[in-house]
Structure 1
Amino acid sequence: MDSLPTLPIPISFISGRYLLFSIDAVTYLRREHNICGVLIGTLPQIPQQNVFLGLPLELMPEEARVLVDRGVACIVDEAKAHDGMKSLLEEDRRQYLRELESQGLHATRILSDRKGQQRDQALKKLDEKAKAKAKAKAKATKAADDNASASSSAQQDEPASVVDLFADDGSNPASSSKPLTSSTPDAQLAMGITPATSYPPLPHPSSSSQLLSKPEVPLSYPLFAHLHSRGYFLSPGLRFGCQYVAYPGDPLRFHSHFLVVSAEWDQNIDLMDIVNGGRLGTGVKKGFLLGGPEKSREEVNSEAERVESVRAFSIEWAGM
C-alpha cells in the first residue's frame, strides 16, 4: 500500500515547470484529487523512448493552482531549497548513504529469492514431464510385451527419468540432500538505489523556500477548476485540437467524454469554430464543450468567484 505523503505536498518549481518527483505524491494526487499530469522522465541511454516514461511528473499550471488553492500542495523554489545541502552534516550524509545501501541489499535479496523460485518451478516442470513420458512409454512397452523376459528386456532399454539420470552421482537438484544455494546477497554488490526526491536527507521544505505567489494560470483556468470540482480528470488536449480533454474517471479506466475549449463570456466566437469543434468532437466520439465564467476579472475580488460563475455548453453534430 502506498504511504501517504506529508501535506502540503511540495511541488518543485524548476525553470518555469511544476514537477513532482515523489511516486507517493503522484499516486496520492491521482487517487484522491483527480490529478494526472504528464510523465516526462526518460532514460539517458534511450532519449527517444516515448512509450513508458517515468518520473518526474509535470503538472499543468492549472493543476498546480488547483492543488495550492485547496491547501493540498505548495510551490517550492528548488534552487533555494537545495541550499540546505551545503549545511548538511557529514554524519547525516553517511547515515543516509547507509540507508540507501540497506535498501539496495533488501532489493537484491528479493530478486535472488524470486529467481530461486522461478528456477525451482522450471526444474519441477521438467521432472514432471520426464516422469510422465517415461510412464507412458513403460505402459506402451508393457502392453506390447508377450512374456516376462521380453518385458524385462524392454525395461532395461527404457530411458531413465530425470530423477534416475542423477540418482548415482547425487547431483539431481530435485532429489539431492543438499539444496542448491546461490551466493548470498550480502556477498554481492547491492543494487544501486537512486532516490527521486531530496526529502530526506533534506527536511521537509520550510516556508522560506516556498513561493508566496500562486502559479500563473491562463484565462481558461475557471473552466478547468469548474470541471475539476465536478469530478472530471483533465489532461492537455493538444492531440485533439482543444485546450483540455475531460474524462469522467481515471483515464486508465475511461475514455474521455469532452473536448474542452474555454472562452470569455463576452468574447466574439466565429461560428465556424463552433461547427469545426462540433464535427471534430463527434468524429472522435466526444462532445464539444464550450464554456467560461460569466463574470470578468474586473467584476470579482477573487478567482474563486469566477469559478463559481462558470457556465458550460456541450455541442454535438447530429446526423453523423
Structure 2
Amino acid sequence: MDFQPTLPIPISFISGRYLLFSIDAVTYLRREHNTCGVLIGTLPQIPQQNVFLGLPLELMPEEARLLVDKGVACIVDEAKAQKDGMQSLLEEDRRQYLRELESQGLQAARIVAGRKEQQKEDYFKKSLEKKGKKKPNVQSKETSNGDPTASPTGPSTANDEPASLGDFFAGDSSSSRGTSNSTPNPQHTYGVTPTTSYPPLPHPSASSDAILSRPDVPLSYPLFAHMHTRGYFLSPGLRFGCQYVAYPGDPLRFHSHFLVVSAEWDQDINLMDIIIGGRLGTGVKKGFLLGGPQKEKPEDGSEIERTESVRTFSIEWAGM
C-alpha cells in the first residue's frame, strides 16, 4: 500500500539548502508530484562513496517553491525547530525514545543472527549431500575371522564423516540452532541511527516561528513550473551545460528529451549560443529547449509580465 504522509511535508532548511530526510516523503513526492531532487548522503563507512548516494535528498529552490505553492510542503528552519523542540521535550520522552531505538537494534540483531544460522545450516546440508553422492571406499573382503560378508570393525579415523546434521552441532557450545530466537548480547546489539528527529521532537505547527516563507527562486522558475505542469520531471542540467534536463517520465524509466534553458522575453541572445545549444542537444540525442515568461504591452504603454503564459522553442541541429 502506498504511503500517504501528513501534509504539508516539512522540508528542512539547513545552511541554505532544502533537504528531505524521510524516505517515505521522498518516495511520495517522486511518485505523486514528479519531484526527484538529488541524493547527497554517504555512508559513514564509505566516505568516498560516489556512485550510489543516499539520504538526505536535496531539492532545488524551484522544486521547494513549487511544492510550497501547491500546498504539499512547508519550509522549516531546522536549527530553530530543533532548539524549540528540545526545550519542550521532557526527560521521560527522551528515555522512551532511546528505549525504542534499543528495541529496534535488538530486533535487527535477532534477524541477522537468524539469517547467519540459516546460512550455516544450508551450507552443512549441502556438504552432507555432496558427501553422500560420492562413491564409498572399496573395503577388503577379508576380515579377521575370514568371513567375507562381515562388516569391518575398528576405531574410527579422523576422516570419518558425521552420520547426521545434528552431529555437526553436537558439542558445539558456540553454535545453537535456536540462536535466532535468543536475545543477542548487549555488545552485539545494532545501533540505530534515525534519519529524522520527528519523533521525538514534535512537528512545527503552521503558526510556529520555525516555518519560513516561500523560497527565493531564480528567474527561470516560470519555465520550470511550466514544464512541470506538462508532466515533465526536471533535474539539474549542469552535466549537459544547461539549466534543467527534462524527462517525459521518471528518470529511472526514461531518457531525457530536452536540454532546458530559460531566457527573459526581451533578453538579447547571441546567435552562437543558440547554435551551440542546438548542436549539443542533437549530439546527445536531445532537443534544445529555450523559453521564458511572455510579456505583453497594453494599449496604455505600460508593461505587464504574464508569468502564467510561457512560450518555448525547441531547436534541433539538422544536416542538409
Tell me if structure 1 keeps the 8 A contact 2:125–2:165.
Answer: no
Question: Could you say if the C-alpha distance between residues 234 and 179 of structure 1 is closer, same or farther in structure 2, counting changes exceeding 3 Å?
Answer: same
Deviation string 1:62-86 (CA, Å, 9 cap, x unpaired) is 0000100110000001111112212
State the secondary structure of the residue aligned to 2:264. coil
Rounded Cα–Cα distance in structure 1 between residues aligned with 2:126 and 2:164: 22
- Specify the alignment match of 1:299 in structure 2: 304
TM-superposed CA distance for 1:5, in Å, is: 2.2
Rounded Cα–Cα distance in structure 1 between residues aligned with 2:65 and 2:120: 51
TM-superposed CA distance for 1:101, in Å, is: 0.8
For the aligned residues, what is the CA RMSD? 3.2
Aligned residue identity for 1:198? S
Sequence identity percentage: 74
- Specify the alignment match of 1:116 in structure 2: 117
- Specify the alignment match of 2:197 in structure 1: 198
Tell me if structure 2 keeps the 8 A contact 1:40–1:58.
Answer: yes
Deviation string 1:167-208 (CA, Å, 9 cap, x unpaired) is 29962359x9x9634372343442111111111001111221
Deviation string 1:128-169 (CA, Å, 9 cap, x unpaired) is 22222x2xx35xx99xx9xx88xx89x97xxx9xxx711299
Gaps of at least 5 residues in structure 2 are 143-147, 297-302
- Specify the alignment match of 1:185 in structure 2: 183
TM-superposed CA distance for 1:58, in Å, is: 0.7
Rounded Cα–Cα distance in structure 1 between residues aligned with 2:203 and 2:288: 43
- Specify the alignment match of 2:130 in structure 1: 129
Indicate which of 135, 158, 167 corresponds to 2:163: 167
Question: Could you say if the C-alpha distance between residues 90 and 201 of structure 1 is closer, same or farther in structure 2, counting changes exceeding 3 Å?
Answer: same
Rounded Cα–Cα distance in structure 2 between residues aligned with 1:276 and 1:186: 63
Rounded Cα–Cα distance in structure 2 between residues aligned with 1:267 and 1:55: 39
Aligned residue identity for 1:271? L
State the secondary structure of the residue aligned to 1:294. strand
Tell me if structure 1 keeps the 8 A contact 2:204–2:211.
Answer: no
TM-superposed CA distance for 1:273, in Å, is: 0.6
TM-superposed CA distance for 1:127, in Å, is: 2.1
Question: Could you say if the C-alpha distance between residues 32 and 217 of structure 1 is closer, same or farther in structure 2, counting changes exceeding 3 Å?
Answer: same
Residues 1:91 and 2:92 aligned together: yes
State the secondary structure of the residue aligned to 1:172. helix
State the secondary structure of the residue aligned to 1:295. strand
Deviation string 1:255-274 (CA, Å, 9 cap, x unpaired) is 11111101112211111111
Rounded Cα–Cα distance in structure 1 between residues aligned with 2:165 and 2:266: 91
Question: Could you say if the C-alpha distance between residues 200 and 284 of structure 1 is closer, same or farther in structure 2, counting changes exceeding 3 Å?
Answer: same
Aligned residue identity for 2:105? G
Rounded Cα–Cα distance in structure 1 between residues aligned with 2:99 and 2:3: 22
Tell me if structure 1 keeps the 8 A contact 2:287–2:315.
Answer: yes
Matched positions, count: 298
TM-superposed CA distance for 1:15, in Å, is: 1.3
Rounded Cα–Cα distance in structure 2 between residues aligned with 1:67 and 1:271: 35
Rounded Cα–Cα distance in structure 2 between residues aligned with 1:294 and 1:266: 9
- Specify the alignment match of 2:267 in structure 1: 267
**Deviation larger for 83-92 or 8-17:** 83-92
- Specify the alignment match of 2:66 in structure 1: 66
Rounded Cα–Cα distance in structure 1 between residues aligned with 2:217 and 2:93: 39
State the secondary structure of the residue aligned to 1:216. coil
TM-superposed CA distance for 1:44, in Å, is: 4.5
Question: Could you say if the C-alpha distance between residues 168 and 294 of structure 1 is closer, same or farther in structure 2, counting changes exceeding 3 Å?
Answer: closer
Rounded Cα–Cα distance in structure 1 between residues aligned with 2:165 and 2:319: 80
Rounded Cα–Cα distance in structure 1 between residues aligned with 2:36 and 2:227: 14
Tell me if structure 1 keeps the 8 A contact 2:264–2:293.
Answer: yes
Question: Could you say if the C-alpha distance between residues 173 and 277 of structure 1 is closer, same or farther in structure 2, counting changes exceeding 3 Å?
Answer: same
Rounded Cα–Cα distance in structure 2 between residues aligned with 1:170 and 1:251: 52
Tell me if structure 1 keeps the 8 A contact 2:77–2:212.
Answer: no
Q: What is the TM-score of this pair, normalised by structure 1?
A: 0.83
Tell me if structure 1 keeps the 8 A contact 2:124–2:165.
Answer: no
Question: Could you say if the C-alpha distance between residues 42 and 170 of structure 1 is closer, same or farther in structure 2, counting changes exceeding 3 Å?
Answer: closer
Rounded Cα–Cα distance in structure 2 between residues aligned with 1:247 and 1:169: 56
Question: Could you say if the C-alpha distance between residues 168 and 219 of structure 1 is closer, same or farther in structure 2, counting changes exceeding 3 Å?
Answer: closer
State the secondary structure of the residue aligned to 1:214. coil
